[in-house]
Amino acid sequence: MLPLARRALSGLGVVLGVVTLMFALIRLAPGDPALLLVGPAATAEQLEAQRHALGLDRPVAAQYAAWLGRFARGDWGTSIATGRPVRTMLGAAWPATVELVGLSLVLSYLIGIAVGVVQAARGGRLDTALSIASVTLFALPGYWLGLMLVMVFTYRFRLLPAFGATGLDADFLSPAARAADRLRHLALPLATLTLVGIGGTARFVRGAMLDVAGAPYVTVARSKGLSPARVTLRHVLRNALIPVVTLLGLSLPALFSGAVFIEAIFAWPGVGRVLVEGVQARDYPVVMAATAVSAVLVVLGNLLAEALVSWVDPRAR
């Protein structure tokens, strides 16, 4: 069996483990969605009838088996809180999450690689200052950084909106003005995710480049009289980027989990926000489907990183 196929099977096992754990956790969490629907003034008979309608009076194992079978067939159920099909809700939400996470991934790696190259090539006080900044950014909780950015850029200087993906008047704007409004709403959540990602990427690239700088082929390149810039970019950076591709796959789970909190803070209409609202409402179908979709996206990202590593580095094949 091909290595990538084995990875795909193990990824399927990861998704199954994640949804199984989430199913158990939400059943153990306090609260009853049936009670939220019928209200505290409902009688015991009304509450029991609502639980029966939702299938919550069945054994937990039977509920899980039934949900798993429906999900595998593409039937993700109906939201308890809104009555809308879960697939419709997530279908409308996932493009916003992919947009936020994808742009953050590109920016954090481009800027992080540039910062790491400067640190490894220059050294000295600049390296020390950038190291302090990158470690600080990497250690900051994303939700705290997001709130601080809201306080500064929204409430202090009133430069950027803090909530939603568009303004209330977006439908009445011209295409150019609508795009500008979208970018203004995207700025703060994107900056929050990107700043945290820059710190980790810069530290990793710096360490990888310093490891490669002592390799024999780099010494040979220097002895040939090549310029320092050419040695750094063509020999050191090129080989140091191979483990960075692996870091890409490892960073996806943290990026998606961070996006959940960021979307909740900024009311960004993505899968993370749908998941948080579903947890608050004890909306079991929404929570389970959103968790499964997030797990699948993370596994696909890791498979993509594995394929990229094999393409970039023939030794990995």
User: CA separation (Å) from 68 to 79, 84, 175, 285?
Assistant: 16, 19, 43, 11
For tokens 């809104």, the residue is 82
Is the residue at 79 inside a domain? no
125-169: pLDDT as tens digits: 999 999 999 999 988 888 899 999 999 999 999 999 988 999 888
Is the residue at 5 inside a domain? no
Is the residue at 235 inside a domain? yes
Helix boundaries (H) for 81-141: 86-122, 124-139
Is the residue at 26 inside a domain? no
Is the residue at 95 inside a domain? yes
110 pLDDT band, cuts 50/70/90, is: very high
In this structure, what token pair is assigned to residue 185? 């709403």
In whole angstroms, give the CA distance from residue 307 to residue 20: 28
pLDDT of residue 5: 76
In whole angstroms, give the CA distance from residue 307 to residue 158: 44
- The region, left, alpha or beta by phi > 0 then psi within -120 to 50, assigned to residue 234 is alpha
Is the residue at 97 inside a domain? yes
In whole angstroms, give the CA distance from residue 301 to residue 8: 11
Q: CATH no. for residue 112?
A: 1.10.3720.10
Is the residue at 6 inside a domain? no
Average pLDDT over residues 67-71: 89
Is the residue at 37 inside a domain? no
pLDDT of residue 315: 61
Q: Which of these, 314, 107, 121, lies nearest to 234 by C-alpha position?
A: 121
190 pLDDT band, cuts 50/70/90, is: very high
In whole angstroms, give the CA distance from residue 32 to residue 34: 5
pTM for the structure as a whole:
0.84
197-255: pLDDT as tens digits: 998 899 899 998 988 888 888 888 888 888 888 888 888 888 888 778 777 767 777 78
For tokens 């067939």, the residue is 73
User: How many angstroms separate the most distant Cα atoms in the chain?
Assistant: 87
For tokens 């990824």, the residue is 11
Domain around 190: 86-316
20-64: pLDDT as tens digits: 998 988 888 787 888 877 877 888 888 889 888 888 888 888 999
In this structure, what token pair is assigned to residue 66? 């039934």
- Alpha-carbon Rg for the chain, nearest whole angstrom, is 24
Number of domain units in the chain = 1
